[in-house]
Amino acid sequence: MFVRVWSFALQGIEALPVAVEVDVSPGIPSFDIVGLPDASVREARERVRAAIRNGGWPFPLQRITVNLAPAHTRKEGAGFDLAIALGVLAAAGAFDSAALEEIAVAGELALDGGLRPVRGALAMALAAEGGRRLVLPAESAREAAACSAGTNVLAAPHLADLIAHLRGERRLEAPDPVRPAEAASAADVDLALVRGQLVARRALEVAAAGGHNVLMVGPPGAGKSLLARCLPTIMPPLDDAESLEVSRIYSVAGELAGSGLIRRRPFRAPHHSTSRAALLGGGNPLKPGEITLAHRGVLFLDEMPEFRRDVLEALRQPLEDGVVRLARAHSHLTFPARPTLVAAANPCPCGYLGDPLHPCTCTASAVHLYRSRLSGPLRDRFDLQLYLQPVTYSEYQASTAGESSAAVAERVLQARERQRRRLAPFGLSSNAEMGPALIRRFCRIPPGGESLMREAIDRFGLTLRGHDRVLRVARTLADLDGSDAILVRHLAEALQYRGVGSEPVKRWA
């Protein structure tokens, strides 16, 4: 007796339909799974056997063969449990297998037949859209129901509920609506909380407006983390397509946890001891890394020079391409990865270089080594580079609260709108994405600006890449200013963010 049940395998953030073919035929009792299952899939045999017995059905003492097609892609995880169990039961005659053509299923089985959530429910709902009805464990179903394709989703708390549904005895319910509190919860930080740091506030506004990466160098306690956390609050809200895209990533990562679509821009702050696999994605089962979880949001690397060098270098390719490419034994996978990168560093290992009151205890060579960890090519990815000033308590007390995030976000939105009109024909959305050709086209140097840029190259040692960075930032400054043309004052301000480099250490030793 042959039965086919439809399920899904996750590839990157996509769900690929997988046919779970089950054949039960006479012979010495056995239970084999083929079709490139990994160890976690093969363990399904034990869970399926127990769940079927404990559900009160007889487990067929025959030769059982399960094939996962297409057979050439590797299958991971416990999500095939439910499909295999249905196949075995249908082949054993527990219900009419014709009912299986209507549905696609995914779910991990508990030994008592209960259903546990799977990763990537949202991706599966999108893959099943317009076709078969999708049956998922209750929590996963709630996740999948958040998108427009969710009307097609049914929630099954237990294997027995699904069998009853397939026998036509009792209908499965649509999943509970999403808890609205999750979706609408307000950000816990706001730019109004930042005291002083006028230059950093301005830099954040420019970063949000143009999508530029930011590198902040400043002493401990200057508020680097708070500033970074504020950046998502002034970026334009996620539109529907972006929201779905981000939610799908979190669904695949298993971090959506039954809540609705993600509406807020993600903020991820991996610790500096983070491994390459955790940052870029990898592991077994394959999961997206922090850079993908920060897609369309902010990836904050605090104490960036403390990150392992190979980990930092590995960031360069995704930052360039907007996707992470992972090579696996049997395939290549890509995850989207287009975060705004915010990095923070101390001015030196002890943190007090340049502090008026604390003498710095680092040797010049230690400072040099510390700064050299931010290699030139990586540093070139940061359009905005700035120094933060130390904040003393009295200054903190004295300075007035600044503008709120909402007020800044308003200006950011307008600047983004100008960029969208200009860049949409090229498939781009922000100034930071402009390559050399578009820079030449849209960032005309104004009269009087040529000599300024020439002087900057001579005096500040501006590189060719640095030159382009300054022009991109100047374009954003002009957009914030509501100006079609870049003016000299925009170039002059942009040059202030030109670079916090190793050159001062060499000069000052």
Partner 1 sequence: MESALVWLIYQRAPGVGRRRMAELMRTYPNPEEAWRLGAAELAAVRGFRPETVQALLAVRKSAEARREAERELERARRAGLRVLCYGTQGYPRRLAEIPLPPPVLYQYGPWEPGDGDGRPVVAVVGTRRPTAYGLAVAEQLGRELAQLGAVVVSGMARGIDTAAHRGALSAGGTTVAVLGGGADVCYPQESAALYRKMRESGAIFSEQPPGTAPRPENFPERNRIISGLSHGVILVEAGERSGTLITAAHATEQDRDLFVVPGPITSPLSRGLYRFVRDGAGLAVNAAQVLEDMGFLPAAEGPLHFTPRGLTELEQRVLGWMGSAPWWPGDLAETSGLSVPEVQACLTMLEIRSAVRRLPDGQYIRIG
Q: How far is CA 307 from CA 57, 225, 270, 373, in A?
A: 55, 16, 10, 9
Of the two residues 34 and 509, which places its CB atom closer to partner 1 in the complex?
509
Footprint on residues 282-311 left by partner 1 (CB under 8 A): none
Q: Is 426 an interacting residue with respect to partner 1 (CB under 8 A)?
A: no
SS (H, E, C) 20-71: EEEEEECCCCEEEEECCECHHHHCHHHHHHHHHHHCCCCCCCCEEEEEEECC
Nearest residue to 287 via CA among 239, 240, 255: 255
Give the residue with the Cβ less far from partner 1, 123 or 217: 217
Cα 185–143–73 angle (5° rounding)? 135
Binding-site member from 154, 353, 374, 412 for partner 1 (CB under 8 A): 353
Closer Cβ to partner 1, 110 or 488, answer by number: 488
Half-sphere exposure for 62 (CA within 13 Å, toward CB): 16
Q: What is the 8-class DSSP label of residue 482?
A: T
Give the closest residue to 230 by CA, choosing from 246, 214, 218, 248: 214
Least Cβ distance, residue 211 to partner 1 (angstroms): 19
487 in Cβ contact with 478 (< 8 Å): yes
Of the pair 164, 453, the CB lying nearest partner 1 is at 453
Please list every residue from 178 through 207 that binds partner 1, using CB under 8 A: 196-202
Q: Which of 426/460 has CB closer to partner 1? A: 460
**3-class SS letters over 127-170:** HHCCCCEEEECHHHHHHHCCCHHHHHEEECCEHHHHHHHHCCCC
User: Across the strands, what pairs with 479?
Assistant: none
| Among positions 26, 56, 359, 447, the unique one binding partner 1 when judged by CB under 8 A | 359
**Rounded least distance, CB 346 to partner 1, Å:** 11
Q: Measured from the CB of residue 357, what is the shortest distance to partner 1 in angstroms?
A: 6
Is residue 357 within the footprint of partner 1 (CB under 8 A)?
yes
How far apart are the C-alpha atoms of 233 and 340, rounded to whole Å?
13
Figure out which of the listed residues 141, 153, 172, 505 binds partner 1, where binding follows CB under 8 A. Answer: 505
**Under rule CB under 8 A, how many of the chain's residues touch partner 1?**
45
Cβ 201 to partner 1 shortest distance, Å = 8
Closer residue to partner 1 in complex, CB, 104/505: 505
- The C-alpha atoms of residue 58 and residue 500 are separated, in whole angstroms, by 71
Task: Decide if 182 contacts 260 (C-beta within 8 A).
Answer: yes
* Site for partner 1 contains 253 (CB under 8 A): no
Nearer to partner 1, 107 or 218 (CB): 218
Return the C-alpha torsion angle 154, 44, 33, 332, nearest 10: 70
123 or 408, CB closer to partner 1? 408
* 462 is a site residue for partner 1 (CB under 8 A): no
Rounded to a whole number of angstroms, the minimum distance from the CB of residue 212 to partner 1 is 15
Site for partner 1 in 364-403 (CB under 8 A): 364-365, 368, 386-389, 399
**Could you list the residues that contact partner 1 (CB under 8 A)?**
196-202, 217-218, 347, 353-357, 359-361, 363-365, 368, 386-389, 399, 452, 455-456, 459, 477, 489-490, 492-493, 495-496, 500, 504-509
